[in-house]
Homo-oligomer: A and B are copies of this chain.
Amino acid sequence: MNETTRERILIAAAETFAETGFAGARIDEIAEKAGVNKAMLYYHVGSKEDLYTAVLTETFDRGLSSIRASVESAGTPAAKLQAILNTFAHFGSENPVFIPIVMREIASGGKHLPDEMVLRMASVFRLVGDTLRSGMEAGAFRRTDPLLTHVSLTGAMMFLIASHPVRQRVARIAGVDAGAHTPAELAAHVGNLFLHGLTITPAKAKKVKS
């Protein structure tokens, strides 16, 4: 089993699927990008669907272990949450495949989402959910529905990262700046927003003025 060839194919496939989606992806393009013959692609991986599933699960697994590691490296619930956001933003930016694919799957109601993938998504939620719940029980976080908050967090994060090209076009028309686009800056924005909210409370207002 030539693992290097297979990996080259998976990387090329990931890029193409991210750019055009499953239906828009062309096997010829993936093969050319991977530097292999089209027949070799079928020999090493299989059909287009097999290729898609392989890309999905392998990418998700790498992201999952990254997030797992980052959670354990932080102390307080707030720090854990920020660590998750940082890792998520970094992973999503460095693996441009991941976010577009998830967004497309959500857009189709997860119709093509195999159980193995839902299982992995549940693992991520458990990580974030536990962080949220422990923060609530410790009196650090307000009580909100963990699953809905989790989806809100990841939704905001994914949109921020993936929207960069569109954001630039919108910004030019609206006559404003396109805003930050580095993973660190985007994660900081989401963390700031979700931890403290928009409203200026008396305590915060005092803090700002001091």
| A residues at B contact (CB < 8 Å) | 18-24, 78, 81, 99-101, 103-111, 113, 115, 118-119, 121-122, 125-126, 129, 132, 135, 139-142, 144-149, 151-160, 162-167, 169-171, 173-174, 176-180, 186, 189-190, 192-205, 208
B99–A200 CB distance below 8 A: no
**CB-based nearest B residue for A202:** B203
Number of copies: 2
A139–B108 CB distance below 8 A: no
| A155 and B141 alpha carbons, distance in the complex (Å) | 22
| A179 and B125 alpha carbons, distance in the complex (Å) | 13
| A116 and B199 alpha carbons, distance in the complex (Å) | 34
**Which residues of B sit under 8 angstroms from A146, Cβ to Cβ?**
176
Nearest-CB distance from A50 to chain B (Å)?
A: 18
The answer to whether residues A140 and B199 also contact, given A103-B106, A104-B21, A148-B180 and a CB cut-off of 8 A, is yes
**CB-based nearest B residue for A205:** B139
Nearest-CB distance from A133 to chain B (Å)?
A: 10
B179–A145 CB distance below 8 A: yes
B21–A173 CB distance below 8 A: no
A159–B154 CB distance below 8 A: yes
| A108 and B165 alpha carbons, distance in the complex (Å) | 9
**Which residues of B sit under 8 angstroms from A144, Cβ to Cβ?**
189, 192-193, 198
**Which residues of B sit under 8 angstroms from A205, Cβ to Cβ?**
139
| A177 and B197 alpha carbons, distance in the complex (Å) | 25
A199–B122 CB distance below 8 A: no
**Which residues of B sit under 8 angstroms from A178, Cβ to Cβ?**
147
**Which residues of B sit under 8 angstroms from A199, Cβ to Cβ?**
78, 140-142, 195-197
The residue that A158 contacts in the complex, of B18, B159, B176, B193, with Cβ under 8 A, is B159
The residue that A21 contacts in the complex, of B23, B122, B145, B153, with Cβ under 8 A, is B23
A20–B20 CB distance below 8 A: no
Nearest-CB distance from A54 to chain B (Å)?
A: 20
A121–B166 CB distance below 8 A: yes
| A121 and B59 alpha carbons, distance in the complex (Å) | 31
